[in-house]
């Protein structure tokens, strides 16, 4: 009888245990939990780059709860920052910025400094894709323990990017990075933003392409403390030397920067390494010159003042635009303005008055 049951076609053999639908290890891969400001500050002071990255992510966040933690981290890091040199680098796409930073960054490290590379990239706001600060463009530098590379924050206005980059500089400096490179594309407003947060400004230029072609405006030339003609290798050397002479002549007609420093022009090649040591030397001379005549310190003071105003205007704008009543009002008046039912200035006045009323009531 028993035997019969076992041979039955209806018998179901016991199968093997199936794995669960959800990976049980997933819980270990959860996003980093938000920690206390002290946790981040201690990590930064211990030069833990993973914690530095996490702290920067909080600084870049738009969430209110993150802003409070970010403010506290920055406040604690501020007294430990400032002991660095901040160099702004600009030039049109293709001029060789990332290749230059890849090699120049390593030269900085050979000189016993620690280098942080940050980017201010307005294109990331428009296209949601950053063309700067991508680690894959700086392969060797990105794996060097004395280097830290951070792409441009995205998803915010140029003002927002500027604030976040300034704050990131503070955190990097507190983590011991004493040579900060801030990269940007030299075609819009972003270089003015970078100019206002660095000690020196380096403009990279191509030989043989006119200023117009490179989209470089006179204003950017006026900001430059050094102009380096890139790709001075192979049969391009002669053209680079000619271009360098042209820029030296052109600079004679521009006003001297406030520091009194006479902007220098040089040629360099990331491929052969030509001119990189000379460029480092020029930077050292600049630091000595501006520290002696105190313009280094004065420039930082001016930038701090500028930063206060910028932050204030940013906060005002944010407060205005995130106010729910104002949001609705803006929507209504946008339509009226488009349909020509009211003129734009009158609409602006009405909206602002409503905002002031609201603000005063609070
Ligand atoms: P970016 O857009 O300004 O960051 O420019 P890249 O660093 O991406 O360089 C653009 C192109 O120029 C790449 O194909 C590089 O290989 C090339 N390049 C960069 N630096 C040099 C250089 O010093 N010499 C030569 N011959 N080519 C270079």
Sign of torsion over alpha carbons 291, 296, 298, 300: negative
As a whole number of Å, the CA-based R_g of the chain is: 27
What is the distance of C-alpha 51 from the center of its chain?
A: 18
Q: Please check whether residue 137 is in contact with residue 105, taking contact to mean a CB–CB distance below 8 angstroms.
A: no
What is the distance of C-alpha 308 from the center of its chain?
A: 19
Q: Whole-angstrom Cα distance, residue 37 to residue 68?
A: 9
Class of residue 263 by CB neighbours under 10 A (exposed 0-12, middle 13-18, buried 19+): buried
Q: Whole-angstrom Cα distance, residue 190 to residue 213?
A: 19
- Give residues with Cβ within 8 angstroms of 85, minimum separation 6: 178, 179, 180, 199, 200, 283, 287
Q: Is the CB of 86 under 6 A from ligand 1?
A: no
**Residue nearest ligand 1's atom 26 by CA:** 231
Q: Whole-angstrom Cα distance, residue 296 to residue 200?
A: 9
Distance 96 CA to ligand 1 centre (A): 4
Map tokens 């280094």 to a residue: 296
pLDDT in tens, 172-187: 999 999 999 999 876 6
Question: With a threshold of 0.85, does the pTM exceed it?
Answer: no
What order do you get walking across the sheet with 179-185 strand by strand? 147-150, 115-120, 179-185, 85-91, 200-205, 226-229, 264-267
Class of residue 74 by CB neighbours under 10 A (exposed 0-12, middle 13-18, buried 19+): buried
Sign of torsion over alpha carbons 167, 101, 45, 35: positive
- The stretches in the chain having pLDDT less than 70 are 1-6, 23-32, 123-136, 155, 186-187, 209-217, 359-362
Q: Whole-angstrom Cα distance, residue 132 to residue 181?
A: 12
Q: Whole-angstrom Cα distance, residue 80 to residue 186?
A: 31
State the pLDDT at residue 215: 56
State the pLDDT at residue 70: 94
State the pLDDT at residue 135: 53
State the pLDDT at residue 1: 47
pLDDT in tens, 197-253: 999 999 999 997 665 555 566 778 889 999 999 999 999 999 999 999 988 988 888
**Residue nearest ligand 1's atom 25 by CA:** 231
Atom of ligand 1 nearest to the CA of 102: 7
Q: Whole-angstrom Cα distance, residue 334 to residue 347?
A: 8
Q: Whole-angstrom Cα distance, residue 128 to residue 171?
A: 25
Nearest C-alpha neighbor of 70 from the set 46, 34, 115: 34
Q: Whole-angstrom Cα distance, residue 46 to residue 40?
A: 10
State the pLDDT at residue 221: 84
Q: Is the CB of 96 under 6 A from ligand 1?
A: yes
How many C-beta atoms surround the C-beta of residue 307 within 10 A? 16
- Out of 91, 93, 96, mutate this one to test ligand 1's pocket (max ligand atoms within 8 Å of CB): namely 96
CA atoms within 13 A on the CB side of 312: 6
Nearest C-alpha neighbor of 190 from the set 53, 97, 75: 97
Nearest C-alpha neighbor of 133 from the set 146, 112, 147, 149: 149
Distance 98 CA to ligand 1 centre (A): 7
Q: Whole-angstrom Cα distance, residue 16 to residue 179?
A: 60
Distance 350 CA to ligand 1 centre (A): 52
């Amino acid at each position: 009888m028993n035997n019969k049951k076992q041979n039955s076609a209806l018998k179901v053999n016991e199968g093997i245990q199936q794995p669960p639908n959800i990976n049980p290890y997933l819980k270990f891969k959860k996003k980093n939990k938000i920690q206390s400001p002290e946790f981040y500050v201690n990590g930064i002071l211990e030069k833990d780059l993973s914690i530095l990255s996490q702290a920067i992510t909080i600084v870049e966040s738009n969430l209110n709860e993150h802003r409070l933690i970010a403010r506290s981290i920055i406040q604690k890091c501020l007294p430990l920052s400032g002991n660095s040199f901040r160099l702004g680098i600009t030039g049109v796409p293709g001029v060789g910025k990332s290749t230059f930073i890849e090699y120049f960054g390593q030269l900085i490290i050979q000189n016993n400094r620690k280098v942080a590379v940050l980017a201010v990239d307005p294109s990331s706001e428009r296209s949601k894709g950053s063309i700067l600060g991508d680690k894959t463009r700086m392969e060797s530098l990105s794996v060097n323990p004395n280097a830290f590379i951070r792409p441009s924050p995205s998803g915010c206005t140029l003002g927002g990017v500027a604030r976040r980059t300034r704050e990131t500089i503070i955190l990097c400096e507190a983590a011991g990075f004493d040579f900060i490179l801030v990269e940007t594309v030299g075609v819009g407003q972003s270089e003015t933003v970078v100019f206002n947060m660095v000690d020196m400004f380096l403009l990279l230029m191509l030989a043989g392409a006119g200023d117009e072609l490179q989209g470089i405006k006179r204003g950017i030339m006026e900001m430059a403390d050094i102009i380096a003609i890139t790709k001075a290798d192979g049969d391009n050397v002669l053209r680079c030397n000619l271009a360098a002479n042209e820029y030296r002549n052109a600079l004679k007609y521009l006003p001297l920067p406030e520091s009194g420093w006479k902007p220098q022009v040089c040629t360099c090649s990331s491929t052969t390494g030509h001119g990189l040591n000379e460029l480092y030397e020029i930077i050292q001379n600049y630091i000595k010159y501006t520290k002696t005549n105190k313009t280094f310190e004065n420039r930082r003071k001016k930038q701090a003042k500028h930063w206060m105003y910028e932050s204030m205007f940013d906060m005002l704008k944010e407060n205005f635009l995130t106010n729910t009543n104002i949001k609705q009002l803006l929507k209504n008046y946008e339509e009226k303005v488009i349909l020509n039912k009211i003129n734009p200035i009158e609409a602006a006045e009405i909206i602002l008055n409503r905002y002031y009323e609201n603000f005063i009531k609070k």
